[in-house]
Amino acid sequence: MTIKLFVLGMALSAAGSAPAQPPALRASVAKKDITPAESKWLAGYPARRSTGVHDRLYHRVVALDDGRTQFFLASSDLCVFSPSMYDDFAARLKRDAGIGPLQVWWTLTHTHSAPEVGPHGLPKLMMPERFKHEPDIEYTNFVQTSLIQAIVEARGRLEPARLASGIGFSMANINRRARDPEGRISLGMNPDRPADRQIGLIRLERPDGSPIALIANYAMHGTALGAKNTSISGDAPGAVTAYVEEKLGAPALFINGAAGDMAPIYSVQDDFRAAHITEFNVLLGDRILAANKTMAAAPGEVRLRLSERIVETPRRSGFGWTEELGDYLKAVAGESGMIRIPVRFLIVDDDLALWAAPVELFSEIAMNVRNRSPYGKTFFFGYSNGWLGYLATREAFREGGYEPRTSPFTERVEEDFTGAVVTYLQGRGR
């Protein structure tokens, strides 16, 4: 089997010539409220409109600058959007602020209690009965404009900073691929299946030790609340983020991980009480705060290296496509063709590797990559820069169930995807 890789970008240099001795790391954070004022179509589950607001939705943006490279990480309280929406946003950001696409990762917390944004994309192919209404152009424009404002604000606030990273552990999630006696797979809970319970942490602080922001990476669907809930909410990820921010006294970014088969331990409940929303503050929030206390800031210079690889893997026979995603499919008439998955990488010094992709990745794949990575800490950022569907294991395709049944990929995708990412990491990004 041949894995085709294409190099689209390498490290990005900051504007201007770098001094002989690079300046110290600078960092900042910005936060924008994106809660709609009117009723909206909610993402996830059957089509339904919001009837009110339980808790508010935000963009949160961290900016990093090592003197050569600027990087912006955004986390938004949204469910999914088409990669074409990211491309449109990135073009606007480049035009309005001069910031290139490789410098920005736009991740989503994957709450199923937030409004839809952007064109319906691949979900409409999977569930045509769910998308009888038109996309919300007004709210989509508001979301994009607000994020551009937040990024520009963060860039303008850069200040000297130190970076610390570490790992925690939480049992707030559970594998959701339930199996009955006949071997049939359905959405539920399965404590016997693998679960990625690592918390990946990055803290940015001022030279005096006061926090600028905390980034917490954990794999968990934003589905503690079910389809009967019609109140806008960040779900469990949003509740945990607000709790950590209050305790920390600084903004926090929840970055979802390989949550394709990871449910919250209380799932699809009718209301907030039944979903035990506040218990996630103990199960996950307190674990984030405890792990944060164990981390020490790295001394000396911090170097950032950004890059992207395109992984090509076959499209499932009979699975359609949408015109706005033409750049993500290489095919000729009558062929299934190859789906082109953009994978982003950020290497921080020689100890921390972050990687991201616009897919709903199964946790076993992310753990496999992590175990084979030469970096001491390797974190996967899911739901990044769009959504191309579930990226499941070969075993899951054999077993069946919701995720492989709705996936645009074939059973070959695990090998293609894992091989490409591991090859890059083991080559130290060179």
31-88 tens-digit pLDDT: 999 999 999 999 999 999 999 999 999 999 999 999 999 999 999 999 999 999 999 9
pLDDT score at 169: 98
Beta-sheet strands, E only, within 249-356: 252-256, 262-264, 304-314, 329-330, 338-348, 352-356
Give per-residue pLDDT as tens, 167-218: 999 999 999 999 999 999 999 999 999 999 999 999 999 999 999 999 999 9
pLDDT score at 21: 52
Flag whether pLDDT at 17 surpasses 60.
Answer: no
Q: How many CB atoms lie within 10 A of CB 252?
A: 28
What tokens were used for 99?
Answer: 């910031």
Give per-residue pLDDT as tens, 92-129: 999 999 999 999 999 999 999 999 999 999 999 988 89
Q: Residues 6 or more apart from 427 whose CB is under 8 A from it? A: none
Q: Residues 6 or more apart from 355 whose CB is under 8 A from it? A: 343, 344, 345, 346, 369, 378, 379, 380, 381, 421, 425
Which of the four pLDDT bands, split at 50, 70 and 90, describes residue 1?
very low
Give per-residue pLDDT as tens, 272-290: 999 999 999 999 999 999 9
Buried b (16+ CB within 10 A) or exposed e, 368-383: bbbeebebebbbbbbb
Flag whether pLDDT at 10 surpasses 50.
Answer: no
Q: What CA–CA distance (Å, rounded) separates 349 from 363?
A: 25
Flag whether pLDDT at 12 surpasses 50.
Answer: no
Q: Which helix (H) or strand (E) holds 420?
A: helix 413-426
pLDDT, average across residues 396-418: 97
**pTM, entire model:** 0.93
pLDDT, average across residues 253-273: 98
Give per-residue pLDDT as tens, 317-360: 999 999 999 999 999 877 899 999 999 999 999 899 999 999 99
Name the residue ranges covered by the structural domains of the chain.
Answer: 304-426
pLDDT, average across residues 225-240: 98
What tokens were used for 111?
Answer: 């709450």
pLDDT, average across residues 139-143: 98
pLDDT score at 430: 62
pLDDT score at 23: 60
pLDDT, average across residues 242-258: 98
